[in-house]
């Protein structure tokens, strides 16, 4: 067993190497080689400017790198003083940021210095009269917000795909123990995804988030059976406002089999983590897509690193980009872009059959960027590079 040293009243240095990309407001995270109490610490750069380092319960450090040119490096210093002394220093720091939470019995909302970012349904929703109990569920995100406060997603739309729920996770064409449950189309009564519990959530000066657990339930047998266990990790970041304001949050979805049986996923055009856009975008003339390869709706079935979906909401133009991490299976995955509706998902099953096997977790990672105005492809490329190829980090201490 490796023992992590516990230090007090000592400084350590964080060395950051930009690598091949210019960095601006880049999210940094790294494992600490020393054990620190979770909380906030003052980070000082080479010019004496202070910002904040957040240390989470897993002893991982998080901060936002303001700027660093490609091919250059810089050093930050952290003093591991007592928690009481440190909190006094943090309170006096001019660089203080915060991700805060507003929670009720059904949703938990994350807010930053730029406003509301998203709501997650940790309890069950309330379907309209036109929809029956099959549409009552939790375990999804809706709405997500642009920096100007516009809602960008939709759910429980009785007129058009009411099973689409903001940002949600489900598989469509499956085989489980000889049955063929459809966890996506709940109206077919063969499968569904239910929330089990929200395990924990937190606020912070750099990052807030939650961890929750869901169940994929097979309804095709005499008795229902859980086929998959699913864990969501959502992290919301407070990014200083620049000329182009945007929100950033990450979603990591981990799926594991609940029995000794695999979940087989035959070739199919969609399935996985879905994204449903604002109801005004149901009119195809009010919405548009843009992929990392420069395509629009013709990007359907084409592989991409990121896809932006947006449009007009009450004469206001806004949208969001879904960025895929290179570690995702079959990256870059093909896109499922609906020919006329505001729906998108990365669909690895377009490339052929796959499966989720016992003892082999299936992990998918996305970074979501919301913004107002026209989509900025150069900005999306920069932010994707930050996500896919973060700066190099090393830590030295005495």
CATH number of the domain encompassing residue 319: 2.70.98
Question: Is 8 a residue whose pLDDT tops 90?
Answer: no
pLDDT at 34 (0 to 100):
83
Q: What is the pLDDT of residues 249-298, one digit of tens each?
A: 999 999 999 999 999 999 999 999 999 999 999 999 999 999 999 999 99
CA distance linking residue 218 with residue 231, whole number of Å: 18
- 2 lies in some domain: no
Q: How confident is the model at residue 300 (pLDDT cuts 50, 70, 90)?
A: very high
Domain identity same for 306 and 165: yes
354 in a structural domain: yes
Residue written as tokens 């400084």? 11
Please check whether residue 1 lies inside any domain of the structure: no
Using CB atoms within 10 Å of the CB of residue 127, give its burial: 0 to 12 exposed, 13 to 18 middle, 19+ buried: middle
Residue 112 lies in a domain: yes
The answer to whether 390 and 25 have CB atoms below 8 angstroms apart is no
CB 143, CB 118: distance < 8 Å: yes
Longest Cα separation, the chain = 68
Q: How confident is the model at residue 9 (pLDDT cuts 50, 70, 90)?
A: very low
Kindly report, residue by residue over 34-87, the tens digit of the pLDDT: 889 999 999 999 999 999 999 999 999 999 999 999 999 999 999 875 444 455
Nearest of 264, 275, 266, 261 to residue 324 by alpha carbon: 275
- What's phi and psi for 32, nearest 5 deg? -85, 135
Domain end point (choices 56, 75, 96): 96
Please tell me the least confidently modeled range out of 4-8, 24-28, 87-91, 217-221.
4-8
Query: Is 397 contained in some domain?
Result: no
Q: Rounded to whole angstroms, how far apart are CA atoms 58 and 30?
A: 10
Domain containing residue 37: 11-96
Structure tokens at 386: 């930050």
Shared domain check, 316 and 181: yes
The answer to whether 294 touches 316, Cβ cutoff 8 Å, is no
Number of domains comprising the chain: 2
Tens digit of each residue's pLDDT (9 = 90 or more) over 338-384 = 999 999 999 999 999 999 999 999 999 999 999 999 999 999 999 99
Domain match, 305 and 160 both: yes
- Considering the domain architecture, whether residues 372 and 235 belong to the same structural domain is answered as yes
What SS3 class is residue 240? Answer: coil
pLDDT interval class at 1 (50, 70, 90): very low
Residues 197, 138, single domain; the answer is yes
Q: Does residue 107 sit in the same domain as residue 65?
A: no
What pLDDT does residue 87 have? 53
**CATH, residue 24:** 2.60.40
Q: Residue 393 domain-assigned?
A: no
Quickly state the pLDDT bin for 397 (edges 50, 70, 90): confident
111 & 66 share domain? no
- What is the spatial distance between Cα 282 and Cα 149, in angstroms, rounded to a whole number? 20
Helix (H, G, I), strand (E, B) or coil at 309: strand
How far does Cα 172 stand from its chain's mean position? 21
**Strands 100-103, 73-79: pairing kind:** unpaired
238, part of any domain = yes
CA–CA distance, 228 with 87 (Å, rounded to integer) = 42
Classify the C-alpha dihedral 377-275-198-174 as positive or negative.
negative
Q: What was the pLDDT predicted at 35?
A: 87
pLDDT digits (tens, 9 = 90+) for 135-176: 999 999 999 999 999 999 999 999 999 999 999 999 999 999
Helices then strands, each counted (H, E), the chain:
2, 25
Cα angle value 164/170/174 (rounded, 5°): 125
Tokens linked to 304: 């991409």
Residues 263 and 145 in one domain: yes
Region 313-319 average pLDDT: 97
**Does residue 37 sit in the same domain as residue 147?**
no
Of the three residues 80, 96, 112, the one that is the final residue of a domain is 96
pLDDT at 25 over 90: yes
Determine the distance from the C-alpha atom of residue 83 to the mean position of all C-alpha atoms in its chain, rounded to a whole number. Answer: 30
- Same-domain pairing of 128 and 209: yes
CA gap 339, 343 in Å, rounded? 9
Same domain, 86 and 169: no
HSE of 110, CA atoms in CB hemisphere, 13 A:
33
User: What is the chain's mean pLDDT, rounded?
Assistant: 93
- The reply to whether the predicted model has a pTM over 0.85 is yes
Domain shared by 133 and 59, yes or no: no
| Contact indicator for 369, 320 with CB cutoff of 8 Å | yes
Domain boundary among 81, 96, 111: 96
Residues 205 and 111: their CA atoms lie apart, in Å, by: 11
What pLDDT does residue 85 have? 46
Would residue 6 count as lying in a domain?
Answer: no
| Span 300-325, average pLDDT | 98
Write the pLDDT tens digit of every residue in 88-145.
Answer: 555 555 445 589 999 999 999 999 999 999 999 999 999 999 999 999 999 999 999 9
Percentage of the chain beyond pLDDT 90 is 89
């Amino acid at each position: 067993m490796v023992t992590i040293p516990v230090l007090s009243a000592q400084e350590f240095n964080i060395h950051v190497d930009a690598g091949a990309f210019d960095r601006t407001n880049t999210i940094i995270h790294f494992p600490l080689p020393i054990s620190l109490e979770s909380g906030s610490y003052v980070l000082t750069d080479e010019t004496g400017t202070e910002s904040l380092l957040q240390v989470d319960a897993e002893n991982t450090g998080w901060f936002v790198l303001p700027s660093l040119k490609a091919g250059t490096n810089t050093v930050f210093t952290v003093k591991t003083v007592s928690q009481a002394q440190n909190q006094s220093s943090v309170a006096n720091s001019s660089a203080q940021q915060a991700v805060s939470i507003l929670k009720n019995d059904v949703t938990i909302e994350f807010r930053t210095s730029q406003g509301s970012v998203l709501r997650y349904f940790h309890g069950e929703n309330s379907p309209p009269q036109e929809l029956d109990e099959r549409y009552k569920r939790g375990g999804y995100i809706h709405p997500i917000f642009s920096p100007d406060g516009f809602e960008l997603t939709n759910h429980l739309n009785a007129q058009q795909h009411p099973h689409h729920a903001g940002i949600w996770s489900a598989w469509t064409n499956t085989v489980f123990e000889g049955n063929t449950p459809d966890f996506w189309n709940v109206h077919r009564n063969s499968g569904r995804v239910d929330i089990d519990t929200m395990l924990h959530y937190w606020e912070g000066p750099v990052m807030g988030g939650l961890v929750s657990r869901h169940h994929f339930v097979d309804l095709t047998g005499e008795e229902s059976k859980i086929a998959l266990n699913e864990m969501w990790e959502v992290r919301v970041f407070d990014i200083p406002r620049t000329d182009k304001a945007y929100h950033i949050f990450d979603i990591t979805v981990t799926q594991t089999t609940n029995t000794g049986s695999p979940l087989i996923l035959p070739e199919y055009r969609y399935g996985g983590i879905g994204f449903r856009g604002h109801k005004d975008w149901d009119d195809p003339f009010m919405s548009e897509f843009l992929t990392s390869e420069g395509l629009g709706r013709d990007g359907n079935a084409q592989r991409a690193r990121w896809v932006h979906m947006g449009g007009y909401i009450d004469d206001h133009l806004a949208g969001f980009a879904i960025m895929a991490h290179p570690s995702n299976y079959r990256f870059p995955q093909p896109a499922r872009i609906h020919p006329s509706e505001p729906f998108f998902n990365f669909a690895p099953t377009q490339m052929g059959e796959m499966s989720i096997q016992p003892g082999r977790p299936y992990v998918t990672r996305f970074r979501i960027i919301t913004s107002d105005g026209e989509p900025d492809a150069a900005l999306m490329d920069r932010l994707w590079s930050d996500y896919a190829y973060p700066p190099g980090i090393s830590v030295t201490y005495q």
